[in-house]
Structure 1
Amino acid sequence: MECHKNEPDNVVVIPVFYKVEPSQVRKQTGSYATAFAKHMKKDKDKIQKWKDVLSQAADLSGFPSTAYRSESVMIEEIARVVLGKLNHKHKNEITNNFILDENYRSIESLVKIDSAEVQVIGLWGMGGIGKTTLAAAIFQKFSIQYEGSCFFENVTDESKRHGINYVCNKLLSKLLREDLDIDTLKVIPSMVMTRLKRMKAFIVLDDVHTSELLQNLIGVRHCWLGAGSTVIVTTRDNHVLKKGGIHKIHQVKEMNSKNSLQLFSLNAFDKVLPKEGYMDLSKRAIDYAKGNPLALKVLGSFLCSKNQLEWNCALAKLKEIPNAEIDRILRWSYNELDEKEKNIFLDIACFLRGHERNRITKILNECGFFADIGIRHLLDKALIRVDSKNCIQMHDLIQEMGKQIVREESLKTPGHRSRLCDLKEVCDVLKYDRGTETVEAIILDATEDTHINLSPKAFAKMLNLRLLAFRDHKAVRPVNLPQGLDLLPENLRYFLWDGYPCKSLPPTFCPEMLVELFLRYSQVEKLWDGVLTLPNLEILDVKYSQKLIECPNVSGSPNLKEVDFSGCVSLLEVDSSIFLLQKLENLSLRKCTSLKILSSNTCSPALLNFDATNCINLQEFSVSFASVDRLCLSLPKFGTNELPSSILHFKNLWFFDCPISESLVNLPENFAMCIWLVSESLLKVERDTSITLSKILPSPAFLTVKMLIIDHVSILSEIPDNISLLSSLEFLSLNGIAIRSLPESIKYLPQLESLDVYNCNKLQSIPALSQFIPYFTVCKCESLEKVLSSTNEPSDKPKCGFILLNCIKLDPRSYQTVLKDAIAGIELGARLNSENEDPFLEQDDDIIEYFLPAMSGMENWSRYRSTQVSVTLEFPSNLLGFAYYLVLSQGHIGYDVGFGCECYLDNSSCERIHITSLTKGNFSNMLNSYDGPSIYLMMNHLVLWYDPASCEKIMEAVEEIKAISDVNNTSYNPKLTFRFFIDESLYSEVMIVECGFHWIYPFEGSAVPKRNDGFDSDDKEEAVLLTNKLEQCVVGTQSNLEVIIVDSGFHWMHPFNFESDDDEEDIVPLEYEDFEFDDEEDIVPLEYEDFDFGDEEDTVHLEYEDFEFDDEEDTVHLEYEDFEFDDSEDISP
């Protein structure tokens, strides 16, 4: 005990009370009193010291033998707990906290110790991403609970160096704890196989490159392993895992910025934060590493003990020459590629990163690289990845590695390299005609200082040029041809030249392998004469080429899918060959203001988008479409103010975009699924269009429309009340209009599922609507002040979400209204889910969520607040679940950022088990009216959500552990850890500043639960004290917070909303008649004391009499003091 007192972190004491009660030890009664009496005369000081120590030991949590049905059960429980504590202690000594990140928790959740099946888990990812470290951390935690274990590093290297027999013998010897020398894997002694199959083993095979090697080590279909065994395999190649029949696979992701800073600082400064004056330099190094642990450690160690000047120099050098050690590790995956795959990789690294996958595949296939299978191989090796928009991306370090490989082709003469992507080197090669036939790709991203004059024969020597891109994001026209251009390489597959300075393409230019041609903002007047044979061309984009007069004949390009003439203001007509293209999917003539006629008797059957908006001089539109059910048609307002007769016969058009005008009343019934109304023209509209809108809404096309979008109709002061006539409307979006309020009639739209209101800066109030609309978003309405409550009005629609984003003038009273509606919506939705009678349950995603400005008020719902991270609560069995909330700080939040909560359960063996993860976020649905990859939160915002699936998993896990404890006759209080998090994003800077959660129960108001529903009592007269000890964390600006629950309590959900008030006279008499219980004699007296209603002395006494009979006189009298209601007299029957 003295050692424990002096070193509590290093010495753990667990008392075992064998055939004695802890109280006897603590108070030294019974046999202890007799023994001390005998020795008291010898050494009183020593005896007193013994008594003190025994009292201290008895106060510790231990094992009383009387709590177990047999000694064997108690011994087994002691062994499990001791092993768990030893293992936990060992892990903490050798594992830094920042290693135990989202990757670790995800892998940990895959390990099922109690499973009888052989489980094989695969970890894969790029070099240096931390696969081995994570596997080691998992091994250290779990391996001690297995009969045999082996951590085998660098399996592939060992196999190449010594042979597969050596590796197999080493593995078997480690597992069976004896030296084995088996000559061949084909004949393994039966005794060895028998012992293996009887052993529950934990094995880590690190860095496995082939599935054959994997099968040699653990047998085909893992047939060598005993029941319950666990194998973790790390590899850089996902294909190895898939071919090996492994289904539990985790791709290791990059470290977040917080953990990256800690890991880097430990290696650079020997502490978890940079020393003074080095924070900005450290951030530069971390930005270079992009979450790769190996790079963070290598850079930190390299920069350790160096001064700031040396740091600046080293970081600047990294931009040109990668760190040799990092580069060496990353190249292992590249070196395993074949020549075609290496070319694909280098093209992506130097040229095509960020392009759409299908487009890249087409371009590289035309280069002869077999890109379909090659890209798949690069994905499996984690050299590239595909983002949510199906674009191919890669880690910055891997891209730098690829560029370095190209540099090494010719260190001093860039013109002899295969790919040129450095701005300075590209300018040098082009300016001085230093290109050679070795050059296959050139990309130039111009800056404001970029100006190059090319000679007419600048590309004459570059006969093998496949990819050429001159990008001009600054509109500086960086590349000029003062003497014109004689030729372009015939081998081009991709050709992009922003601001192309010539009137036409060279007359000899006929690149038959060309796939994509971009001449945006060019000076071209005519692309080519006659028919140019470009059989592989799929994209032709000459947008904003304002001097283009003549549309090219494209009959020689039968595979064209996309043609864009947007902003070609001099274009007089569209060549008929365009309409004859059979594969054309997108045709844009937007802002072609010189066009007067668009006419064709036929059009591509594949056409999906036809855009002629803002063609303000268009007088005739007579295009025949093969099919319109997938067509998005955008038309301008016509000079005659009449719609073209050619569209009046359309049925079930997918999307129709046009200016608002009275002519829309002529559209037929079932004309379009979606109608998008915009301003009348490019010219400023002077008159209010509200009257026009009120006239067209009752027309046939609008009565059957399912989606209506009103977008930037600036002079629209109100939405007419007759919008309620749109009985088929499911989605309504209002963006950038001048309304001051929304009509209350919107709530009478029977099919409306979603209402979005964006950028309506004059909007001041919202009526009671939210309860009637499952998905309601109000975004950046900066004048909004008032939102009325809708919880008092009945609605049969389950609430799914309400978003109030950047409504910075919302008054506090309205905020409280919205918050109460949110809480009521979550509780109602949770109970509807539990009843399993609502169509809401049939949806795949039944999560209920709210996103609101963060003010005050959560303390009224989460009544107990604390800066501590643990509360003691006992779970009732009838709990429906939890509602979670967190508060995000002001700042930019990324388009794809995620935030949420993870839950872990500590079982009776002190093992922390991952139960469930819930990630919420992804603001893509809010970015329809935003430019760029992020939103700026103008104030703190509250995220509040309920997820029934995660709640069910948590409660099932708790009940499972409780059941095991009951079988073992042991006491067990579930300990839950809730960890709130926000994902890192390149475009995000917000942090979590507050978090919490709330219990939800299946019963409402004062309806009491039936007996034995979570309460153990045989006494009908027993009084039960139920205290809700909900607690939340408030810990400043942190990205990860933890709330630990070790016990729980009880909370009544009332059908009305109460607030604390200082008026001590407030009384609410409530009568509940005809309650039903199991026994006519049931009487449940309950007392609730010390509720926090503003006054510390506030008390609520509830008396329940004579429950569950059919007697009409049955009554329950409840008195609530100090509540606040809307009634001035604060009394509610």
Structure 2
Amino acid sequence: MLTRITVLKLYYVETENSEIIGSHGLSVCSKKRDGGPGAFIIFQALVGAGWRTFKDDNEIERGENIKTELENAIINSRSSIIIISKKYATSTWCLDELVKILEHKRTKGHAVLPVFYHVDPSEVRDQKKSFAEAFASYERQIKAESDEGKREWMDKVRKWRAALGEVADSGGVLVNNQEYRKESEFIEEILQLIEDKLNRTISSVAPYLVGISSRVKNIISWLQDGSHDDNVIAICGMSGIGKTTVAKYVFTTNFTRFEGSSFLANIQDISQQPDGLIRLQKQLLYDLTGKKSKIQDTDEGIIKMRDAICFKRVLVILDDIDQQEQILAIIGMKNWFCPGSKIIITTKNSCLLKVQEIQKVHKVREMGNDESLELFSWHSFGEDHPADDYMELSKRVVKHCGGLPLALQVLGSSLRGKNIDVWKSALDKLETIPASQIIKKLKFGYDSLKDDHDKNLFLDIACFFARKDKDYVIVVLEESYIYTRVGIQNLIDRFLLMIEGNMLIMHQMLRDMGREIVRQESSKKPGRRTRLWHYKDSFNVLRENMGSETIEGLFFDMNMVKEDESFMGSSSSGRKWLFTDVKSYRFSFSRHPNKFSSKSLNELELGTNLFTVMNKLRLLQINYTNLNGAYKDFPKNLRWLYWRGFPLKCVPNDFPLESLSVLDMRNSCLERLWEGRRVLPLVKILNLSHSHSLFSTPDFSELPMLEKLVLKECVNLIEFHESIGTLEARLIFLNIKNCKRLQKLPREICKLKVLKTFIISGCSNLVELPRDLWRMQSLEVFLANEIPMSQLPSKRKQNSIWHALIRYWVPNPKRVLELSWVSLPKSLVKLSLSECNLSEVAFPRDFSNLMLLQNLDLSKNPISCLPDCIRTLGRINNLELRSCTMLKFLIDLPRIHRLGVGDCTSLERVTYLSVGYRAIVYDISVCKELPDMEGNFKLESMGGIEKTMKSLELSMWDSVGSFEVKLYNNSTHTESRGPVKVLFESGMISIYLPGSMVPDWFCYKSAGSTLSFTVPSSPDLKIQGLTVCSVYTIDWKVLIKGAEFYLIIHNEQKNVKLIYSPTCYGLPEGQNEMLWFTHWKFLSQLDAGDTLNVTVFTMVGFIIKEIGIHLMHDELVDMIFNSNSQEMQRDYPYQGVMSVKRQGLVDLYCYGYMGVDWTTFCPTYHEIHEWEFFGGVGCKI
């Protein structure tokens, strides 16, 4: 007979309407006869303490009714007490309830307090003594059940074992006769724990904890590791990202493990109030000691704090720390804490981590699309998915929020219960005016910036430079902000900015917040704002001549205006306009509908005089727009002029350019930059790319500070000024890609001593290159693709420099060209000679002078084998040979990280100089002739494997030789048909055969895709491996070629999961079925008593019908795995790192449990990419 006691207590949370939002405070679970008076006395004591309770002793009579009622009580409770006694495991009802409680703990932050009543936690964790007896009876029950019943019971037992292990590791109260003379002492402690721990204000954890498990698993692992080192961890991220939610969840689910705990919220706000730090000190002392303290000043508080924390293992959460002084005042020095204590800090200021020397950092990242949609749906619809009619609108909101939980919650709640028209209107408004609640929260990070320098830098980036190259932005802004580099780093430290691939990345909601700050400068009159970033506002200001001296930056794009149908409506005077003269980029309108007035055209043409009043204008982007008038009164403080589609043939001489740092006129109509001589003393970047009429470069002596020159796609450029040599100490980047009419470069170009990047790809009309390129000793990147050439051995030697004779740079093969000597500088890190008509004989014998070369691209060349000189490149990391259709062999490759041989349709073999090495990342798509890639996979005939199977009297192998199977290779994306082959990879063997059922000799079988079993004891033979057989068919209507399927083996006792996705899979004929045999070698890692859960997880199109397991003893393993010793001398699971990785997917992982609930497994894209990428075998234990 079991006793269930559910203790109910009304609790209130302040809301606008002061409504009760919950009713269950606590649930108690115990086994009545064995738990004895414990549960009953707890029940009586709680009643006496004023808790409202529910009790039922007649559970057998009431059956499922009481079970449902109790499950609902658990769901609605904030916390649970679990009294675990010696006979606890004999109750399946108790065990089911335990699973339910722990599931609620993981998903909803439910607090759990275990009470070990006359039982040791280790007995619970390892299922010893009475617990072992209980589970032995369950194992007997499994054997007695039918197949369907077996699966159900095995699943239950697995969950029960995991739940007992988890609860045993959760801490709690240990009760035994030695500790307590009276049960009253035990009850007194329980009541104290309830009041001090479970009844704290932890109910403020976010109601919908979507994706919380993956976000907290590393923190919880650190919290529970028992280590005395690194007792502080910082949770970092931008405002609204969920730092506090993560911290609250971790605190709620773990504070019972410690002797004392405290969660101090909103420290930044409280510390700014009068005596705020003293209030925080008092709160922390009270939480840890249970006593109120009198503190006169912070120094006294620090002393008392030190005395309180040095003798007790405590968990302390400091939420929203912003200053070092706050840490020192509240907790003092981290080495004051008792060993085993843990401190968690949440902050938006990563500078603190360096000052405090905090090594462990957890950065909270944005939610993925699926998680975002689910969280938004909970707040907007009260369920985990949107209503069908609202799906597309919901996806728009999710995209707008950019994975920010705060925004998803606020917008979801604001749209709840609204009709579709309201949704559409709200979304349109969000494009221009962000939600005020979101802005208010995000603005804390902006307000924390210390000075106007960094605040203005933030606003410039938010309005004009998000997703722009960092170095480009620094050049633009360094004249405006003296400390631009320092300012950018300050924004990064405050999580207001990120750098990805040297790009400035600002979260969309932060960008919107910055723009809203600017909009609020003058919400009604945009002409009085400091920055105009939206073309509509700029259009209205320019159209109405409403500019002011306040404007510092302006963006306008005439093409955007012309494509915007809203401007076909009424103007401010009530007239309607149509655009005319689109091709000439004239800013003109005519009255609707038919007659065009020359007066109206003149009235609305854009003149240079509109900018005269903007004397503070620094940043101007004005695309595809024609300005009429003189420029002598144009703003003279311009630092950045970005004029895409500049309509004139040259820049007017009266245009004030002397203050410019960047002149960017891509897609212009320029024929030459200007007439006569002009000096631009400050210009560092000149970009005239895609200016198809440009035929000559400027005199570079007029640009003495130029660092970056971009003339890409200037297809009519024929004159390159010889003054380029005057920039020898300045120019670091030169791009003349696809300047197809350019025949010659000046010799002075070799004087560019600091040039790092030189791009001449596509300059197919070059007659010769200067002979002294080797003098560019700073050159790191040289790209010379699509320049047909034929090379001959050098006739002249200059030290160890590579000299090659370029004989043809020919678009016209009838033309006779001069011979030019070319050398490459030894400083090169990246060299690209793709599509240059190079064969392997064209390369010099010695490539050793390019000792720094890391990236080499020889794609689309008539190479048939690896040039010998490449093997001498000791630092080569990335080798690209894509679309080399004559390439057959890559023998003795150096130790490269990435190999690209996609579309090498003749490639037959790949090997490496180092035995056992293989490229970590590779692309071999469409290499249809490649059955063997050393170290990654090999497909070969049955050979020794077939003989071994027959010798073991496995009769089904007798007819294998007559079978033909079709295989799809996920690495090469090709199909092949032929005799049965063996796939060797990652220390395993896979074989595909036609068939419809698991062979009889398999000792374990199960319908469907999952099977669980316990490894039996075998004194005479050591189990060292297993064979998995799965029967599957394919639904051809939904199958996508390249879909993956996974074999997952989870060893519960060792908390290890193996996940394997084979390179190849068999394609059954029509609706027929196919067998997939996989042989695994586990060495000594499989012991009697281990519980293995085996799952075949498939993507859409595969249907798994049956799965079987056959255990292999040491003799059988040796026979199979030694039948091809050369291929099988690889690392195996649990033994070293198997570095195989198809592009974008790992083949085999060894994955530790990490406290995650793996009762079911479905690897999402997000989960797969969180795993360590070791390829063949990755270990994370």
Bin for the TM-score computed over the shorter chain: 0.5 to 0.7
Give the 3-state SS of the residue equivalent to 1:333 in structure 2. helix
Give the 3-state SS of the residue equivalent to 1:332 in structure 2. helix
Partner residue in 1 for 2:661: 515
Give the 3-state SS of the residue equivalent to 1:232 in structure 2. strand
Partner residue in 1 for 2:412: 300
Determine whether 1:81 maps to 2:168: yes
Partner residue in 1 for 2:563: 449
Query: Counterparts of 1:936-1015 in structure 2 under 5 Å?
Result: 939-941=1042-1044, 973-975=1053-1055
Partner residue in 1 for 2:754: 606
Contact 1:648 1:668 in 2 (8 A): no
Determine whether 1:627 maps to 2:776: yes
Determine whether 1:131 maps to 2:243: yes
Q: Post-superposition shift, 1:805?
A: 6.3
Q: Distance in 2 between matches of 1:663 and 1:111?
A: 72
Partner residue in 2 for 1:272: 384
Residues 669, 417 of structure 1: alpha-carbon distance in 2 compared, 3 angstrom cutoff:
closer
- Pick aligned residue for 2:326 from 213, 222, 226: 213
Q: Post-superposition shift, 1:303?
A: 1.0
Contact 1:785 1:811 in 2 (8 A): no
Partner residue in 1 for 2:479: 366
Q: Distance in 2 between matches of 1:366 and 1:999?
A: 66
Contact 1:883 1:945 in 2 (8 A): no
Q: Post-superposition shift, 1:108?
A: 2.0
Determine whether 1:580 maps to 2:580: no
Give the 3-state SS of the residue equivalent to 1:231 in structure 2. strand
- Pick aligned residue for 1:561 from 697, 703, 707: 707
Partner residue in 2 for 1:475: none
Determine whether 1:760 maps to 2:823: no
Determine whether 1:809 maps to 2:974: yes
Contact 1:632 1:656 in 2 (8 A): no
Query: Counterparts of 1:718-733 in structure 2 under 5 Å?
Result: 719-720=863-864, 723=867, 727-728=871-872
The aligned length equals: 855
Letter of the 2:704 counterpart:
P
Contact 1:418 1:439 in 2 (8 A): yes
Q: Distance in 2 between matches of 1:308 and 1:354?
A: 33
Q: Post-superposition shift, 1:998?
A: 9.7
Partner residue in 2 for 1:775: 919
CA shift digits 1:897-943 (9 cap, x unpaired) = xxxxxxxxxxxxxxxxxxxxxxxxxxxxxxxxxxxxxxx99632469
Determine whether 1:350 maps to 2:463: yes
CA shift digits 1:522-568 (9 cap, x unpaired) = 11122134553333322111122222233212224333222122332
Contact 1:364 1:371 in 2 (8 A): yes
Letter of the 1:563 counterpart:
L
CA shift digits 1:138-174 (9 cap, x unpaired) = 1111111211111122223223334122221222122
Contact 2:1013 2:1091 in 1 (8 A): no
Letter of the 2:984 counterpart:
D
Contact 2:320 2:346 in 1 (8 A): yes
Residues 54, 429 of structure 1: alpha-carbon distance in 2 compared, 3 angstrom cutoff:
closer
- Pick aligned residue for 2:339 from 227, 241, 253: 227
Residues 880, 250 of structure 1: alpha-carbon distance in 2 compared, 3 angstrom cutoff:
farther
Determine whether 1:464 maps to 2:581: no
Partner residue in 2 for 1:254: 366
Q: Distance in 2 between matches of 1:15 and 1:396?
A: 57
Letter of the 1:384 counterpart:
L
Higher mean alpha-carbon deviation, 135-144 vs 288-297, is at 288-297
Q: Distance in 2 between matches of 1:580 and 1:588?
A: 17
Partner residue in 1 for 2:223: 111
Contact 1:263 1:272 in 2 (8 A): yes
Contact 1:698 1:722 in 2 (8 A): no
Q: Post-superposition shift, 1:285?
A: 1.8
Contact 2:903 2:925 in 1 (8 A): yes
Give the 3-state SS of the residue equivalent to 1:810 in structure 2. strand
Give the 3-state SS of the residue equivalent to 1:591 in structure 2. coil
Letter of the 1:588 counterpart:
N
Give the 3-state SS of the residue equivalent to 1:343 in structure 2. helix
Q: Post-superposition shift, 1:768?
A: 6.7
Contact 1:63 1:78 in 2 (8 A): no
Contact 2:847 2:873 in 1 (8 A): no
Residues 204, 588 of structure 1: alpha-carbon distance in 2 compared, 3 angstrom cutoff:
closer
Q: Distance in 2 between matches of 1:1069 and 1:342?
A: 67
Unpaired stretches in structure 1, ≥5 consecutive residues: 20-44, 46-52, 472-477, 681-688, 796-802, 828-849, 885-889, 891-935, 947-953, 959-971, 982-995, 1004-1008, 1016-1024, 1039-1047, 1060-1067, 1071-1133
CA shift digits 1:174-199 (9 cap, x unpaired) = 22101211222323597775343212
Q: Distance in 2 between matches of 1:628 and 1:420?
A: 44
Partner residue in 1 for 2:1097: 1034
Q: Distance in 1 between matches of 2:1026 and 2:629?
A: 73
Q: Distance in 2 between matches of 1:402 and 1:1069?
A: 65
Partner residue in 1 for 2:536: 424
Residues 16, 237 of structure 1: alpha-carbon distance in 2 compared, 3 angstrom cutoff:
farther
Letter of the 1:940 counterpart:
A
Determine whether 1:592 maps to 2:734: no
Residues 533, 64 of structure 1: alpha-carbon distance in 2 compared, 3 angstrom cutoff:
same
Residues 811, 212 of structure 1: alpha-carbon distance in 2 compared, 3 angstrom cutoff:
same
Q: Post-superposition shift, 1:419?
A: 0.9
Letter of the 1:457 counterpart:
N
CA shift digits 1:926-964 (9 cap, x unpaired) = xxxxxxxxxx99632469999xxxxxxx9xxx9xxxxxx
Q: Post-superposition shift, 1:218?
A: 0.4
Give the 3-state SS of the residue equivalent to 1:1031 in structure 2. strand
Residues 239, 14 of structure 1: alpha-carbon distance in 2 compared, 3 angstrom cutoff:
farther
Partner residue in 2 for 1:491: 637
Contact 2:278 2:301 in 1 (8 A): no
Q: Post-superposition shift, 1:449?
A: 2.0
Give the 3-state SS of the residue equivalent to 2:642 in structure 1. strand
Give the 3-state SS of the residue equivalent to 1:560 in structure 2. coil
Residues 504, 58 of structure 1: alpha-carbon distance in 2 compared, 3 angstrom cutoff:
closer
Q: Distance in 2 between matches of 1:766 and 1:734?
A: 17
Residues 777, 636 of structure 1: alpha-carbon distance in 2 compared, 3 angstrom cutoff:
closer
Higher mean alpha-carbon deviation, 651-660 vs 263-272, is at 651-660
Contact 2:1047 2:1059 in 1 (8 A): no
Query: Counterparts of 1:470-869 in structure 2 under 5 Å?
Result: 470=622, 478-481=624-627, 488-581=634-727, 582-601=729-748, 603-622=751-770, 624-625=772-773, 626-628=775-777, 630-633=779-782, 649=798, 651-652=800-801, 676-679=832-835, 693=839, 695-696=841-842, 709-713=857-861, 716=862, 719-720=863-864, 723=867, 727-728=871-872, 737=883, 739=885, 742-744=887-889, 746-747=890-891, 749=892, 751=894, 753=896, 756-758=899-901, 760=903, 763=905, 766-767=908-909, 774-775=918-919, 779=923, 781-782=925-926, 784=928, 787-788=931-932, 807-811=972-976, 820-824=983-987, 867-868=1009-1010
Determine whether 1:158 maps to 2:245: no
Q: Post-superposition shift, 1:5?
A: 12
Unpaired stretches in structure 2, ≥5 consecutive residues: 8-25, 37-60, 62-85, 96-115, 131-163, 174-193, 565-584, 588-605, 811-816, 941-967, 1029-1033, 1062-1075, 1102-1110, 1126-1181
Identity of aligned pairs, percent? 23
Q: Post-superposition shift, 1:577?
A: 2.1
Letter of the 1:364 counterpart:
L
